[in-house]
Amino acid sequence: MAASPPNSPDPSGSPTSPAQRRAVVVGGNRLPFARAGGPYAAASNQDMLTAVLDGLVARFGLQGEVIGSVAAGAVLKHSQDFNLTRESVLGSALSPQTPAYDVQQACATGLETVVGLANKIRLGQLDSAIAAGVDTTSDAPIAVSDNLRHALLKLSRARSVGQKLKAVAAIRPKDLAPVPPRIVEPRTGLTMGEHQALTTAQWGITREAQDTLALASHTRLAAAYDAGFFDDLVTPFRGQTRDQNLRADSSLEKLGTLAPTFGVKLPTPATMTAGNSTPLSDGASAVLLASDEWAAAHDLPVLAVVVDAETAAVDFAHGQDGLLMAPVFAVPRLLARNGLTLDDFDFVEIHEAFASTVLCALAAWEDDEFCKTRLGLPGALGSIDRDRLNVTGSSLAAGHPFAATGGRLVATAAKLVAERKAELAGTDADRPVRVLISVCAAGGLGVTAILEAA
Amino acid sequence: MRAPAVRAPGAGAGAGAGPGAGAGLVAGAAQDRPVTPEQPTLRGRTEVVLAAVPGLGGLYARGVGTSARHAVASRLGRASSTLPDVVYVAHGLRAGADHLTAYQHLLGESASDVLPAGFVHVLAFPVATALMVRPDFPLPLAGMVHLANRVEQLRPVSLGDVLDVRAYARDLRAHRSGTQVELVTEVRVATGPHGSELAWRGTSTYLAKGTHLLPRDAADPGRAPGRAGSDPWVAPTATAQWRLAGDIGRRYATVSGDRNPIHLSALTARALGFPRAIAHGMYTASRALAEVGAARTEAFTWTVEFAGPVLLPGTVTVRIATDGATGGFGYTGWNAGSGRVHFSGAVVPRS
């Protein structure tokens, strides 16, 4: 336990710390994302998390290094994975003296992990950290039924033969059927896609707009791979060198042939298809965070600074807001606290849970009435041109292994601003280059963050 | 039928832990005889004090008997058209922890020590039922349809509270397809050696279909929102979907003690004119109450009108949303395919 935190206020209440220390993104690593049941089907969360950590170790020369903390999470987790991150660290090339802990905030796990570790670095509690995330929908945990579990637990507590027989006798044949995880909101029974279909209808997002966004995701991700953008962000795994879901040859015509999969029972036309929704995916990602001093001491580059973050939640269960609309509320608060507008960002990375999730957020921020009544703003928050939005593709093309998406976004975003900053070196070197990151999550959650080129 | 979940009213749970199958409970027909002579009360009703809360199973069995008597009386033109002027009373009820947990888990409530309003209904319901199987109660219990329910939760009721229950019938009136009646149940919480406070009042409206005791000109025109009037009902935006398994009637029967055969299996439901088993109305209303959650506050009014049965297994599309007009929540459950409403109601905080 620390005797006194480095930034504790003095008795008069005014902050004594000079300029707060920065948390920087050194770089990232991820596995190419695979489709459920694909090349990673036999790999466990621990396998993939260990692999992605080892890739990061190899990239930045961290063999045997003691990292301040590794935090990681998985959304679909087996009960034996209670210490998933620590076990993965022990299996990696990092020093076994590297502490680790698990985080989980549904699809926002990866970004929340970055935010939490960055804050520890800013406070001086850590000098280095790895934020990671992993998910496998192929090796998803299968649980036993509630009745079987209750009976087995009673059996394990039973002392007498009579008690044991009674516990066993309570088991019915149908209790033996395994219970796979369902991607439904526990409180509503609706799948995420069904929830988003309601929001899509509410905002009147067209099929064409969704397919156009999906196509851009594929073409931009393919172009970024072709340009070598991911050469220092992705480590091949199990023969996979690019994201398996990527369709470089996709077209509006092909996307237009797909039958709607969500919202088919709504009175409005169904617009959401497998093409403009993310597939179930397997994969892992990791981001190396540090203080400037640690990065300099290890002779490592610094891509971006983690500036600030804001989380929001919405009451989706009682019909007030759409399940995936929380980032719409988080972003204006984040901007206000930092004295920024949407125009102050060179890039915006919005997780494409569904094409319509992104389009609903954009529509809400452009809506005068909504911004006034729900966001408490004087008027519309503003618009985001498509040439700043998800410029190297996003989840629709890459896939979305839930907890791994945040790490993919942060590493991509950090590299984008670092490259733009380098381009400006001769002309406009002092201009801040920022990226806004937004991730929606189950449970009506949303996490947003600002990164700025270092 | 075996209880699939945790056995509801825990065996040996002690003093009258609820209706139904609990071993510590007094079940069967003979036990609800008055222990004190019927005495007039201030309200002019005669008080009948039950020795213990009767088991619903025995009451249903007796209900069939009185229903047969009703049929004979009706044919002979001797059916009574007035309600017995009595109030049924049971003292010293307590909830059992295992029973409460089983109920809360089934309905989607978290297992707090505060009794959900629907659970209080489960505890108190047998007292009202005991009244309804009296030989001089004018309507037959068998085949009775639950039309509506209103609960005023005036203060929280907690595990460990000692409860007194009073139940009486009122407002017998003609309905277009029979005769309806209200059963009022009041639950008081002991606040000291002598004092108690009214905590919960439930009013259940039942319809005896085909039993026409009163002139029909005063008949209620009917209230089913999915069918009434010429304006077609338009489904609102859903907020949830309930996929109800085929055994949900049996599971709610286990925690509620309400083993009406129409809820238990397709076979037993068919015998009473339903194509399949149907969900308990109070299961659907109590689940909606659970999904409103803590926003209902400690004291609230919770209403429901049942418009059409939910066949099991089945999917109910649901909207549970804030209602600016009442300052509380409104809820509706319907069949997305047919557009027929199953139930609708409200949960409105009292303060």
Under an 8 A CB cutoff, do B320 and A317 touch? yes
Under an 8 A CB cutoff, do A194 and B237 touch? no
Domain assignment present for residue A227? The answer is no
Under an 8 A CB cutoff, do B241 and A147 touch? no
* Chain A CB contacts of B238 below 8 Å: 190, 198
The torsion angles phi and psi of B183, rounded to 5 degrees, stand at -110, 120
The alpha carbon of residue B241 is apart from the nearest alpha carbon of chain A, in Å, by: 5
The alpha carbon of residue A372 is apart from the nearest alpha carbon of chain B, in Å, by: 19
The pLDDT of residue B18 is: 32
The pLDDT of residue A145 is: 83
Domain assignment present for residue A1? The answer is no
Q: Name every residue in B having a CB less than 8 A away from some CB of A.
A: 2, 4-6, 108, 235, 237-243, 291-293, 295, 319-322, 329, 336-337
Structural domain span for residue A154:
146-176
Domain assignment present for residue A207? The answer is no
Under an 8 A CB cutoff, do B239 and A317 touch? yes
* Chain B CB contacts of A316 below 8 Å: 239
Catalytic-residue membership of A360: no
Under an 8 A CB cutoff, do B292 and A318 touch? yes
User: Nearest Cα to A284, choosing from A348, A241, A235, A229?
Assistant: A235
User: Between A194, A265, A318, which is nearest B321 by CB?
Assistant: A318
The pLDDT of residue A116 is: 98
The alpha carbon of residue B109 is apart from the nearest alpha carbon of chain A, in Å, by: 11
Residues recorded for chain B: 351
Q: What average pLDDT score do residues B164-173 get?
A: 96
* Chain B CB contacts of A265 below 8 Å: 336-337
* Helix or strand (DSSP H, E) at A288: strand A281-290
Catalytic-residue membership of A351: no
Per-residue pLDDT tens listing for chain A (454 residues): 444 444 444 444 344 454 679 999 999 999 999 999 999 999 999 999 999 999 999 999 999 999 999 999 999 988 889 999 999 999 999 999 999 999 999 999 999 999 999 999 999 999 999 999 999 988 877 777 888 888 888 888 888 999 888 888 888 888 888 776 667 888 999 999 999 999 999 999 999 999 999 999 999 999 999 999 999 999 999 999 999 999 999 999 999 999 999 999 888 999 999 999 999 999 999 999 999 999 999 999 999 999 999 999 999 999 889 999 999 999 999 999 999 999 999 999 999 999 999 999 999 999 999 999 999 999 999 999 999 999 999 999 999 999 999 999 999 999 999 999 999 988 888 999 999 999 999 999 999 999 999 9
User: Between B243, B320, B336, which is nearest A318 by CB?
Assistant: B320
The torsion angles phi and psi of B213, rounded to 5 degrees, stand at -95, -25
Asked if pLDDT for residue B119 goes beyond 80, the answer is yes
Selected catalytic residue, list A195, A218, A351, A400: A400
Asked if pLDDT for residue B27 goes beyond 70, the answer is no
Total domain count, chain A: 1
Mean pLDDT comparison of A135-139, B30-34, B77-81, highest-scoring range: A135-139
User: Between A150, A190, A317, which is nearest B241 by CB?
Assistant: A190
The alpha carbon of residue A220 is apart from the nearest alpha carbon of chain B, in Å, by: 35
Asked if pLDDT for residue B254 goes beyond 60, the answer is yes
The pLDDT of residue B56 is: 62
Domain assignment present for residue A161? The answer is yes
Asked if pLDDT for residue B2 goes beyond 50, the answer is no
The pLDDT of residue B67 is: 67
* Chain B CB contacts of A320 below 8 Å: 321-322
Helices (H) and strands (E) in chain A, counts: 14, 12
Mutation target to probe the B interface, by most B beta carbons within 10 A, among A154, A185, A318 is: A318
Q: What is the pLDDT of residues B300-350, one digit of tens each?
A: 999 999 999 999 999 999 999 998 888 899 999 999 989 999 999 999 999
- Residue in chain A closest to B292 (alpha carbons) equals A318
Domain assignment present for residue A164? The answer is yes
Under an 8 A CB cutoff, do B293 and A317 touch? yes
Q: How would you list the strands of the sheet with B314-323, edge to edge?
A: B39-40, B46-50, B86-93, B163-175, B178-190, B196-209, B144-153, B300-306, B341-349, B328-334, B314-323, B240-244
User: Between B5, B243, B329, which is nearest A318 by CB?
Assistant: B329
What percent of chain B clears pLDDT 90, i.e. is strictly above it? 61
* Chain B CB contacts of A323 below 8 Å: none
Give the residue with greater pLDDT, B136 vs B11: B136
Type of residue numbered B326: T
| Helix, strand, or coil (residue B81) | coil
Give ∠ CA B1-B4-B8 in degrees, rounded to 5: 95
Catalytic-residue membership of A440: yes
Domain assignment present for residue A22? The answer is no
Q: What ranges make up the beta strands (E) of A40-92?
A: 69-73
The pLDDT of residue A3 is: 43
* Chain A CB contacts of B322 below 8 Å: 318-320
Fold agreement between B1-217 and B223-351: yes
The alpha carbon of residue A323 is apart from the nearest alpha carbon of chain B, in Å, by: 10
Domain assignment present for residue A171? The answer is yes
CB pairs under 8 A between A and B: 50
* Chain B CB contacts of A187 below 8 Å: 108, 240, 291
* Chain B CB contacts of A150 below 8 Å: 5-6
What percent of chain B clears pLDDT 70, i.e. is strictly above it? 76
The pLDDT of residue A168 is: 86
User: Nearest Cα to B342, choosing from B301, B307, B293?
Assistant: B307
Q: What is the pLDDT of residues B221-252, one digit of tens each?
A: 544 444 445 577 889 999 999 999 999 999 99
Give the confidence band of B11 by pLDDT, cuts at 50, 70, 90: very low
User: Which ranges in A158-272 belong to alpha helices (H)?
Assistant: 161-169, 192-203, 207-226, 252-256
User: Between A147, A150, A198, which is nearest B237 by CB?
Assistant: A198
Question: Quick check: ipTM above 0.90?
Answer: no
Class (C level, CATH) for B1-217:
alpha beta
User: Between A146, A172, A318, which is nearest B239 by CB?
Assistant: A318
Selected catalytic residue, list A195, A360, A371, A440: A440
Give the confidence band of B210 by pLDDT, cuts at 50, 70, 90: confident
Under an 8 A CB cutoff, do B241 and A189 touch? yes
* Chain A CB contacts of B235 below 8 Å: 267
In contact, B189 and B196? CB cutoff 8 Å:
yes
Domain ranges of chain B: 1-217, 223-351
pTM score, whole prediction: 0.83
Selected catalytic residue, list A107, A195, A218, A360: A107
The pLDDT of residue A372 is: 98
The pLDDT of residue B192 is: 84
* Chain B CB contacts of A189 below 8 Å: 240-243
CA–CA distance from B22 to each of A164, B6, B28, B62, B148 (Å)?
Answer: 21, 12, 12, 19, 28
Long-range contacts of A329-335 (CB under 8 A, 24+ apart): A329/A374, A329/A375, A329/A446, A330/A438, A330/A446, A330/A447, A330/A448, A331/A365, A331/A381, A331/A436, A331/A438, A331/A448, A332/A371, A332/A375, A332/A377, A332/A381, A334/A308, A334/A309, A334/A310, A334/A436, A334/A448, A334/A449, A334/A450, A335/A381
Q: Name every residue in A having a CB less than 8 A away from some CB of B.
A: 146-147, 150, 172, 175, 187-190, 194, 198, 201-202, 265, 267, 316-320
Q: Considering only A232-246, B72-86, B191-205, which range has the smallest mean pLDDT? A: B72-86
CATH topology of domain B223-351: Thiol Ester Dehydrase; Chain A (3.10.129)
Q: Considering only A415-429, B46-60, B180-194, which range has the smallest mean pLDDT? A: B46-60
User: Nearest Cα to A449, choosing from A332, A308, A347?
Assistant: A308
